[in-house]
Structure 1
Amino acid sequence: MSYNPPSMKSLIAFEATARQGSMTAAADEGCTSQPTISQRIRALEENLGLPLFDRRGGRLVLTVQGESFYREISPSLKTIREACERLIQHGDRPAPSVVIAAGSGFMHLWLLPRLPMLKRAFPELTFKLMPIDRADAPELQAADIAIRFGPYMPQDEGRLLASEAVFPVCSPDYAGEHGVKGELTASDLARVSLLHQDIKDPRWLDWTQWCRHAGLSLTPREDIFAYQNYALLLNAALTHQGVALGWSILVEDYLASGQLVALSPRVTREDYGYWLSVKHHRSAVIEPISDWLLDVVQP
């Protein structure tokens, strides 16, 4: 004659009741009702053919057989429960995705090189990077983390990631060939090739504006070629084609590696820089990432 083992639900109800000391506590733990727990234990006792609890006197006490049965099944049920929890936590569910939006220059020159380090710091997350250059772009507002360049804007509640500092940069070969080092003068600017970007965004300095802040005069030129984005312009500087304006956070890696050299003067504008803002404040997922970014920029 075959034996039909008891249901898992009845075993869980019995184990929780024996461990917690009451059916009410077992019901709370299992997000069910006390009558349901009672029914499942009754079904288990009928299946086994003996009582597991002594219910006389209004108290719920394990019988000798119930105590022995509890000691035998409790470790196995605990192992099953923990295995299920681990699978749920580390299983094949899609990892939470975090959207980070920033200007294309910052994205390609600073964030992308540090993406492997970011992934190692938060292996349980996936990251979607969005290069957004328009300050009023809706995608910037919708991102979990937005990194915006420009002046301080109180309504953004942003934290300063890096202050603006702008200075000329060029390759060491170009500097040596053209005899430029240290502080550039107006005569230096007149004889070197100045690399320009096709930019109509008032947040960014061009050579005319930079010279005005630096107290230098700039002779107008007719033969100006404007690069479409900052990454292309910086690549021209790296390949010895001229002198570019460098924003400190965007060129720091090239300066550290010796691929570019920094010239002067250095121009700063009050309250200008890269600002980090988040869509959801005090988020348990986003806040540690924001802190990580700040720590990496400001070690």
Structure 2
Amino acid sequence: MTPNQMEYLLRSLRILETIGRRGSFSAAATELGMTQPAISQQVAQLEGVLGLSLFRRLHRGVAPSDAGQILHTAAADVLARIHAAMQAAELSTAQKSLTVLTDYGFAANWLLPRLGDFESSYPELDLCLLTTQARQTGVVSDQADISILFGKKPEDGERVSVRLFAEEVYPICSPSYLAQMGQPATSADLTRARLLDLDSPARHWFTWEDWFRLLGQSSRPATKSRNSRLFGNYPLLLQAILQGQGVGLGWRPLIDDYLQSGQIVLAWPEPIRSERGYFVSINHNKQKLVETFKAWLLEQASASPFA
């Protein structure tokens, strides 16, 4: 069948299906964006080719003949199958892309170093990584297929979200700074260190005030004293710690690779914990693909040497 013949057949099927469904040449013409004479001419040509009368002209509208009804049913079925096939093809293409939303600290310090493992297993996948400073768990934006965000357990967490990591926080520093400072014998000894702090006006993160309070200390050096330093984001804070500028609070799993490599060490062996953490939430529009990525995330999390 030539391309022109195929085009003629598909156009005829569409016209037959629309006339049979709408019961009128004029209504079919309006829906298809054609004129009524063009519809009538197309039907007449088809009837001439087949040698059959396909429609009975009524006072108002038309009704399919027996042969017309058979062809209408077949046309509706064929068009439905073509439509379903086109949707499947579009979905197949869409399934090859995955958009992940997380915060910058998690992306830079945990996810990016591990993404090569996922991409080597799924080389045909186009992965888009979005970062945000939001701390809203249990929500996947319209732009993302899966989110990994820090915060409290969502109210509907058991239904749409899975906790990847609980909040676990240690004082950390570089080996050179620890050698200079000396290993603290008590938590109060850390008050003589330069304390590097994360600026968190919305109180989404633990602060040094929280750390000292949870370990039974009533106070800490004033934030604006020469013995402290404030940073606007976590990757910048980590960089200062790596450069030996002081002691900061380190969140697992964001510090796992640095601990394993020995670039940073624990300035205090015991963590403080909360019910917050990183939660994975998925968009069910790509159920199979996001479940695959979620399973990979959980596998990577459980493989951490500090899990």
- Quote the Cα distance in structure 2 between the aligned partners of 1:276 and 1:138: 7
Matched-pair contact (CA < 8 Å) for 1:169–1:260: yes
Distance in 1 of aligned mates of 2:245 and 2:301: 29
Identity of aligned residues (%): 34
**Secondary structure of 1:177's partner?**
helix
- Any conservation in 1 of the 2:102–2:130 contact (CA below 8 Å)? yes
| Gap runs ≥5 in structure 2 | 4-88
More displaced, 154-163 or 123-132? 154-163
Q: Is the 8 A contact 2:194 2:229 kept in 1?
A: no
Q: Secondary structure at the match of 1:211?
A: helix
**Does 2:119 match 1:119?**
yes
Task: Work out which of the residue numbers 206, 227, 230 in structure 2 matches 1:226.
Answer: 230
Q: CA deviation at 1:154?
A: 2.3
When the two structures are superposed, what TM-score results if normalisation uses the length of structure 2?
0.62
What corresponds to 2:265 in structure 1? 261
The amino acid of 2:259's aligned partner reads L
How has the CA–CA distance of structure 1 residues 137 and 296 changed in structure 2, closer, same or farther, with 3 Å as cutoff? closer
Structure with more strand by fraction = 2
In structure 1, distance between residues paired with 2:164 and 2:122: 20
- In the TM superposition, what is the alpha-carbon distance from 1:290 to its structure 2 partner? 0.7
Number of matched residues?
A: 209
Instruction: Report the equivalent of 1:244.
Output: 248
Decide which moves more: 226-235 or 149-158: 149-158
2-structure distance, mates of 1:239, 1:211:
24
Equivalent in the alignment of 1:13:
none
Asked if structure 1 preserves the Cα contact closer than 8 Å seen for 2:212 and 2:220, the reply is no
Q: Are residues 229 and 118 of structure 1, via their aligned partners in 2, closer, same or farther at CA, if it must alter by over 3 Å?
A: same
Q: What letter matches 2:265 in structure 1?
A: V
Give the secondary structure class of the aligned counterpart of 1:240: coil
Tell me the equivalent position of 2:173. Answer: 170
Distance 1:112 1:184, change over 3 A: farther
Measure how far apart 1:282 and its partner are. 7.3
What per-residue deviation string (whole Å, max 9, x for no partner) do you get for residues 226-247 of structure 1? 1111001011110111001011
For structure 1, which runs of at least 5 residues remain unmatched after alignment? 1-6, 10-88
Q: 1:219 to 1:227 in 2, by over 3 A?
A: same
Shift of 1:121: 2.0
Q: Which residue of 2 aligns with 1:289?
A: 293
Q: Secondary structure of the equivalent of 1:149?
A: strand
Task: Give the match's secondary structure for 1:112.
Answer: helix
What do the CA deviations read for 1:111-150 (whole angstroms, capped 9, x no partner)?
1111212211221111111111213499953311101111
Question: Cα deviations across residues 86-118 of structure 1 (Å, max 9, x unaligned)?
Answer: xxx9xxx78822111111110110011112122
Q: TM-score, normalised by structure 1?
A: 0.64
